[in-house]
A = this chain, B = another copy of it.
Amino acid sequence: MTKDKISIAFQDLQTEICNSLEKLDGKSKFLTDPWSRKDGGGGVTRVIQSGALIEKGGVNFSAVHGKTPEKILTALSLSPSDFFATGVSIVIHPISPMVPIIHMNVRYFEMANGTYWFGGGIDLTPHYINKEDAKTFHTHLKKACDKFDNTYYPKFKKWADDYFYLKHRKETRGIGGIFFDHLKATDSISKETLFDFVLETGKTFIPAYTSAVEKNRDKEYGQKEIEWQRLRRGRYVEFNLIWDKGTKFGLDTDGRTEAILMSLPNYANWIYDYQPEKGSKEAETQKMLKKDIDWLIN
Protein backbone atom coordinates (compact mmCIF):
# COMPACT_ATOMS: atom_id res chain seq x y z
CA MET A 1 0.00 0.00 0.00
CA THR A 2 2.37 2.69 -1.24
CA LYS A 3 1.52 6.37 -1.15
CA ASP A 4 1.52 6.39 -4.96
CA LYS A 5 -1.11 3.68 -5.08
CA ILE A 6 -3.26 5.71 -2.69
CA SER A 7 -2.93 8.97 -4.60
CA ILE A 8 -3.69 7.25 -7.93
CA ALA A 9 -6.84 5.71 -6.44
CA PHE A 10 -7.82 9.18 -5.12
CA GLN A 11 -7.31 10.73 -8.53
CA ASP A 12 -9.48 7.99 -10.09
CA LEU A 13 -12.11 8.72 -7.45
CA GLN A 14 -12.06 12.39 -8.47
CA THR A 15 -12.62 11.47 -12.14
CA GLU A 16 -15.41 9.03 -11.31
CA ILE A 17 -17.22 11.54 -9.09
CA CYS A 18 -16.89 14.38 -11.62
CA ASN A 19 -18.35 12.16 -14.36
CA SER A 20 -21.29 11.19 -12.14
CA LEU A 21 -21.91 14.80 -11.05
CA GLU A 22 -21.95 15.95 -14.69
CA LYS A 23 -24.62 13.33 -15.41
CA LEU A 24 -26.59 14.37 -12.33
CA ASP A 25 -26.37 18.03 -13.33
CA GLY A 26 -27.26 17.35 -16.96
CA LYS A 27 -26.03 20.70 -18.30
CA SER A 28 -22.62 21.95 -17.14
CA LYS A 29 -19.22 20.33 -17.40
CA PHE A 30 -16.26 20.51 -15.01
CA LEU A 31 -13.35 22.78 -15.81
CA THR A 32 -9.95 21.24 -15.08
CA ASP A 33 -7.31 23.39 -13.45
CA PRO A 34 -4.01 21.57 -12.72
CA TRP A 35 -1.57 23.33 -10.42
CA SER A 36 1.77 22.65 -8.82
CA ARG A 37 3.00 23.62 -5.39
CA LYS A 38 6.24 25.58 -5.08
CA ASP A 39 7.54 23.36 -2.27
CA GLY A 40 6.52 20.02 -3.80
CA GLY A 41 3.63 18.24 -5.48
CA GLY A 42 0.42 19.74 -6.74
CA GLY A 43 -3.12 18.89 -7.65
CA VAL A 44 -6.04 19.17 -10.00
CA THR A 45 -8.88 21.52 -9.13
CA ARG A 46 -12.10 20.74 -10.93
CA VAL A 47 -14.93 23.25 -10.80
CA ILE A 48 -18.45 23.14 -12.19
CA GLN A 49 -20.53 26.32 -12.37
CA SER A 50 -23.92 27.57 -13.56
CA GLY A 51 -25.34 24.10 -14.13
CA ALA A 52 -28.95 22.95 -14.22
CA LEU A 53 -28.60 21.62 -10.67
CA ILE A 54 -25.28 22.93 -9.37
CA GLU A 55 -24.59 26.62 -8.86
CA LYS A 56 -20.99 26.06 -7.82
CA GLY A 57 -19.22 22.82 -7.12
CA GLY A 58 -15.59 21.92 -6.61
CA VAL A 59 -13.92 18.52 -6.60
CA ASN A 60 -10.31 18.97 -5.62
CA PHE A 61 -7.53 16.39 -5.79
CA SER A 62 -4.09 17.08 -4.37
CA ALA A 63 -0.90 15.20 -3.59
CA VAL A 64 1.61 17.47 -1.94
CA HIS A 65 4.90 16.82 -0.18
CA GLY A 66 7.90 18.57 1.29
CA LYS A 67 9.16 19.95 4.54
CA THR A 68 6.44 19.81 7.19
CA PRO A 69 5.45 23.39 8.15
CA GLU A 70 6.37 24.44 11.71
CA LYS A 71 2.72 25.12 12.60
CA ILE A 72 1.70 21.56 11.73
CA LEU A 73 4.62 20.04 13.65
CA THR A 74 3.68 22.04 16.75
CA ALA A 75 -0.04 21.30 16.47
CA LEU A 76 0.56 17.55 16.16
CA SER A 77 3.64 17.38 18.46
CA LEU A 78 5.76 15.86 15.70
CA SER A 79 9.50 16.09 15.18
CA PRO A 80 10.75 17.62 11.91
CA SER A 81 10.31 15.20 9.01
CA ASP A 82 9.13 15.51 5.41
CA PHE A 83 5.43 14.95 4.84
CA PHE A 84 3.24 13.64 2.06
CA ALA A 85 -0.49 14.37 1.94
CA THR A 86 -3.05 13.34 -0.64
CA GLY A 87 -6.81 13.67 -0.74
CA VAL A 88 -10.02 14.46 -2.49
CA SER A 89 -12.25 17.22 -1.21
CA ILE A 90 -15.71 18.15 -2.48
CA VAL A 91 -18.28 20.83 -1.76
CA ILE A 92 -21.42 21.23 -3.90
CA HIS A 93 -23.68 24.27 -3.63
CA PRO A 94 -26.88 23.57 -5.58
CA ILE A 95 -29.00 26.31 -7.14
CA SER A 96 -32.22 25.20 -5.47
CA PRO A 97 -32.67 25.89 -1.75
CA MET A 98 -34.66 22.64 -1.63
CA VAL A 99 -31.54 20.61 -2.49
CA PRO A 100 -28.89 20.19 0.25
CA ILE A 101 -25.27 21.33 0.20
CA ILE A 102 -22.90 18.35 0.46
CA HIS A 103 -19.30 17.93 1.48
CA MET A 104 -17.01 14.90 1.24
CA ASN A 105 -13.33 14.50 1.96
CA VAL A 106 -10.91 11.57 2.04
CA ARG A 107 -7.27 12.05 2.90
CA TYR A 108 -4.02 10.25 3.64
CA PHE A 109 -1.05 11.71 5.48
CA GLU A 110 2.41 10.17 5.76
CA MET A 111 5.63 11.34 7.38
CA ALA A 112 9.12 10.40 6.17
CA ASN A 113 9.63 8.57 9.49
CA GLY A 114 6.84 6.11 8.60
CA THR A 115 3.97 7.59 10.66
CA TYR A 116 0.79 7.69 8.61
CA TRP A 117 -2.95 8.01 8.97
CA PHE A 118 -6.20 8.16 7.02
CA GLY A 119 -9.01 10.60 7.53
CA GLY A 120 -12.27 11.40 5.87
CA GLY A 121 -15.86 12.35 6.18
CA ILE A 122 -19.08 13.15 4.45
CA ASP A 123 -21.81 15.43 5.71
CA LEU A 124 -25.04 16.93 4.42
CA THR A 125 -26.32 20.47 4.96
CA PRO A 126 -29.95 20.72 3.87
CA HIS A 127 -31.25 24.29 3.79
CA TYR A 128 -34.52 22.67 4.85
CA ILE A 129 -34.16 19.55 6.97
CA ASN A 130 -36.48 16.69 6.12
CA LYS A 131 -36.37 13.74 8.53
CA GLU A 132 -37.05 11.12 5.87
CA ASP A 133 -34.21 12.41 3.67
CA ALA A 134 -31.93 12.56 6.70
CA LYS A 135 -32.72 8.91 7.43
CA THR A 136 -31.95 7.95 3.81
CA PHE A 137 -28.62 9.81 3.91
CA HIS A 138 -27.53 8.29 7.21
CA THR A 139 -28.63 4.83 6.04
CA HIS A 140 -26.22 5.11 3.08
CA LEU A 141 -23.40 5.96 5.49
CA LYS A 142 -24.26 3.24 7.99
CA LYS A 143 -24.26 0.62 5.23
CA ALA A 144 -20.83 1.74 4.05
CA CYS A 145 -19.49 1.60 7.61
CA ASP A 146 -21.12 -1.72 8.50
CA LYS A 147 -19.29 -3.49 5.67
CA PHE A 148 -16.12 -2.95 7.72
CA ASP A 149 -16.96 -2.61 11.39
CA ASN A 150 -20.26 -2.27 13.24
CA THR A 151 -18.73 0.21 15.66
CA TYR A 152 -17.73 2.64 12.87
CA TYR A 153 -21.08 4.27 12.14
CA PRO A 154 -22.00 5.23 15.73
CA LYS A 155 -18.43 6.34 16.49
CA PHE A 156 -17.93 8.34 13.30
CA LYS A 157 -21.46 9.77 13.38
CA LYS A 158 -20.77 11.23 16.81
CA TRP A 159 -17.40 12.49 15.60
CA ALA A 160 -19.17 14.30 12.73
CA ASP A 161 -21.65 15.89 15.17
CA ASP A 162 -18.72 17.23 17.19
CA TYR A 163 -16.67 18.29 14.17
CA PHE A 164 -19.29 19.99 11.98
CA TYR A 165 -20.34 22.26 14.82
CA LEU A 166 -20.45 26.05 14.98
CA LYS A 167 -19.42 26.59 18.60
CA HIS A 168 -20.08 30.33 18.40
CA ARG A 169 -23.68 29.65 17.29
CA LYS A 170 -24.19 26.50 19.35
CA GLU A 171 -25.59 24.83 16.23
CA THR A 172 -24.55 22.04 13.89
CA ARG A 173 -23.73 22.82 10.25
CA GLY A 174 -26.48 20.48 9.04
CA ILE A 175 -27.53 16.90 9.72
CA GLY A 176 -23.93 15.67 10.05
CA GLY A 177 -22.80 12.37 8.62
CA ILE A 178 -19.55 10.61 9.42
CA PHE A 179 -16.10 11.98 10.23
CA PHE A 180 -12.90 10.16 11.16
CA ASP A 181 -9.23 11.04 11.49
CA HIS A 182 -5.88 9.51 12.47
CA LEU A 183 -6.94 5.97 11.49
CA LYS A 184 -4.02 3.54 11.46
CA ALA A 185 -3.74 -0.20 11.04
CA THR A 186 -4.27 -2.24 14.25
CA ASP A 187 -4.21 -5.92 15.16
CA SER A 188 -7.75 -6.22 13.88
CA ILE A 189 -7.53 -4.16 10.67
CA SER A 190 -4.80 -3.91 8.05
CA LYS A 191 -3.75 -0.75 6.24
CA GLU A 192 -5.21 -2.23 3.02
CA THR A 193 -8.63 -2.78 4.59
CA LEU A 194 -8.55 0.68 6.13
CA PHE A 195 -7.86 2.13 2.73
CA ASP A 196 -10.78 0.12 1.30
CA PHE A 197 -13.01 1.71 3.93
CA VAL A 198 -11.77 5.19 3.04
CA LEU A 199 -12.45 4.52 -0.64
CA GLU A 200 -15.89 3.15 0.27
CA THR A 201 -16.60 6.47 2.00
CA GLY A 202 -15.62 8.26 -1.20
CA LYS A 203 -17.72 5.97 -3.37
CA THR A 204 -20.77 6.45 -1.10
CA PHE A 205 -20.81 10.13 -2.06
CA ILE A 206 -22.59 9.64 -5.38
CA PRO A 207 -25.49 7.36 -4.33
CA ALA A 208 -25.97 9.35 -1.10
CA TYR A 209 -26.10 12.70 -2.88
CA THR A 210 -28.14 11.34 -5.79
CA SER A 211 -30.88 10.29 -3.33
CA ALA A 212 -30.85 13.74 -1.72
CA VAL A 213 -30.97 15.47 -5.11
CA GLU A 214 -33.58 13.36 -6.89
CA LYS A 215 -36.13 13.68 -4.11
CA ASN A 216 -35.88 17.46 -4.03
CA ARG A 217 -34.70 18.91 -7.33
CA ASP A 218 -38.20 19.40 -8.77
CA LYS A 219 -39.67 21.06 -5.67
CA GLU A 220 -40.90 24.60 -6.15
CA TYR A 221 -39.46 27.55 -4.27
CA GLY A 222 -39.56 31.32 -4.26
CA GLN A 223 -37.74 34.39 -2.96
CA LYS A 224 -38.32 33.45 0.69
CA GLU A 225 -36.57 30.10 0.26
CA ILE A 226 -33.67 31.73 -1.63
CA GLU A 227 -33.18 34.24 1.20
CA TRP A 228 -33.11 31.47 3.78
CA GLN A 229 -30.66 29.49 1.61
CA ARG A 230 -28.30 32.48 1.52
CA LEU A 231 -28.46 32.90 5.28
CA ARG A 232 -27.68 29.19 5.73
CA ARG A 233 -24.79 29.64 3.30
CA GLY A 234 -23.54 32.48 5.52
CA ARG A 235 -23.29 29.93 8.33
CA TYR A 236 -21.46 27.58 5.94
CA VAL A 237 -18.92 30.35 5.28
CA GLU A 238 -18.55 30.91 9.03
CA PHE A 239 -17.85 27.23 9.66
CA ASN A 240 -15.31 26.89 6.88
CA LEU A 241 -13.39 30.06 7.72
CA ILE A 242 -13.54 29.88 11.52
CA TRP A 243 -13.54 26.18 12.40
CA ASP A 244 -12.64 23.89 9.51
CA LYS A 245 -9.27 22.23 10.07
CA GLY A 246 -8.81 21.34 6.39
CA THR A 247 -9.12 24.99 5.44
CA LYS A 248 -6.63 25.99 8.17
CA PHE A 249 -4.20 23.24 7.09
CA GLY A 250 -4.43 24.39 3.48
CA LEU A 251 -3.85 28.04 4.30
CA ASP A 252 -1.04 27.15 6.75
CA THR A 253 0.80 25.00 4.20
CA ASP A 254 0.58 27.81 1.64
CA GLY A 255 -1.85 25.78 -0.46
CA ARG A 256 -3.68 27.10 -3.49
CA THR A 257 -6.13 29.62 -2.03
CA GLU A 258 -8.67 29.39 -4.85
CA ALA A 259 -8.76 25.59 -4.53
CA ILE A 260 -9.16 25.77 -0.75
CA LEU A 261 -11.86 28.45 -0.83
CA MET A 262 -13.87 26.91 -3.65
CA SER A 263 -15.97 25.57 -0.76
CA LEU A 264 -17.49 29.05 -0.39
CA PRO A 265 -20.82 29.68 -2.12
CA ASN A 266 -21.34 32.24 -4.88
CA TYR A 267 -23.83 34.21 -2.79
CA ALA A 268 -24.09 34.39 1.00
CA ASN A 269 -26.09 36.72 3.23
CA TRP A 270 -26.09 37.86 6.84
CA ILE A 271 -28.88 39.64 8.72
CA TYR A 272 -28.22 41.03 12.19
CA ASP A 273 -29.87 38.87 14.86
CA TYR A 274 -32.13 37.06 12.40
CA GLN A 275 -34.75 34.78 13.93
CA PRO A 276 -36.98 32.65 11.72
CA GLU A 277 -40.72 33.18 12.22
CA LYS A 278 -42.17 30.96 14.93
CA GLY A 279 -43.75 27.82 13.51
CA SER A 280 -42.27 28.39 10.03
CA LYS A 281 -40.43 25.63 8.17
CA GLU A 282 -37.25 27.69 8.64
CA ALA A 283 -37.79 27.57 12.43
CA GLU A 284 -38.37 23.81 12.18
CA THR A 285 -34.99 23.38 10.50
CA GLN A 286 -33.30 25.67 13.01
CA LYS A 287 -34.59 23.45 15.85
CA MET A 288 -32.97 20.38 14.30
CA LEU A 289 -29.47 21.89 14.06
CA LYS A 290 -28.43 19.90 17.13
CA LYS A 291 -25.94 17.21 18.01
CA ASP A 292 -26.88 13.66 18.91
CA ILE A 293 -30.09 13.32 16.92
CA ASP A 294 -30.54 9.68 15.86
CA TRP A 295 -31.66 10.22 12.27
CA LEU A 296 -32.10 6.46 11.69
CA ILE A 297 -35.06 6.03 14.02
CA ASN A 298 -37.05 9.07 12.86
Contacts and interface: CB of A to CB of B under 8 A. Distances in A.
A102 interface: no
Contact of A272 (B47, B169, B267, B270): B47
Contacts of A271: 266
Contact of A273 (B258, B264, B266, B267): B258
Interface string A58-88: 1000000000000000000000000000000
B262 A49 contact: no
Q: Is the interface of A mostly helix, strand, loop or mixed?
A: mixed
Interface in A212-268: 230, 234, 237-238, 241-242, 251, 257-258, 260-262, 264-268
- Identical subunits present: 2
Contact of A270 (B167, B230, B261): B261
Interface in A259-293: 260-262, 264-273
Nearest to A57: B272
Interface in A122-169: 167-169
A251 B170 CA distance: 12
Contact of A258 (B49, B230, B258, B272): B272
B272 A49 contact: yes
Given A234-B264, A264-B234, A33 B273 contact: yes
Given A237-B237, A241-B242, A266 B262 contact: no
A257 B58 contact: no
Contacts of A262: 272
A56 B258 contact: no
A58 B272 contact: yes
Given A33-B273, A264-B270, A266-B271, A242 B238 contact: no
22 contacts: A33-B273, A47-B273, A49-B272, A56-B272, A58-B272, A168-B251, A168-B257, A168-B261, A169-B257, A237-B268, A238-B241, A238-B261, A241-B242, A242-B251, A258-B273, A265-B270, A266-B270, A266-B271, A267-B267, A267-B268, A267-B269, A268-B270
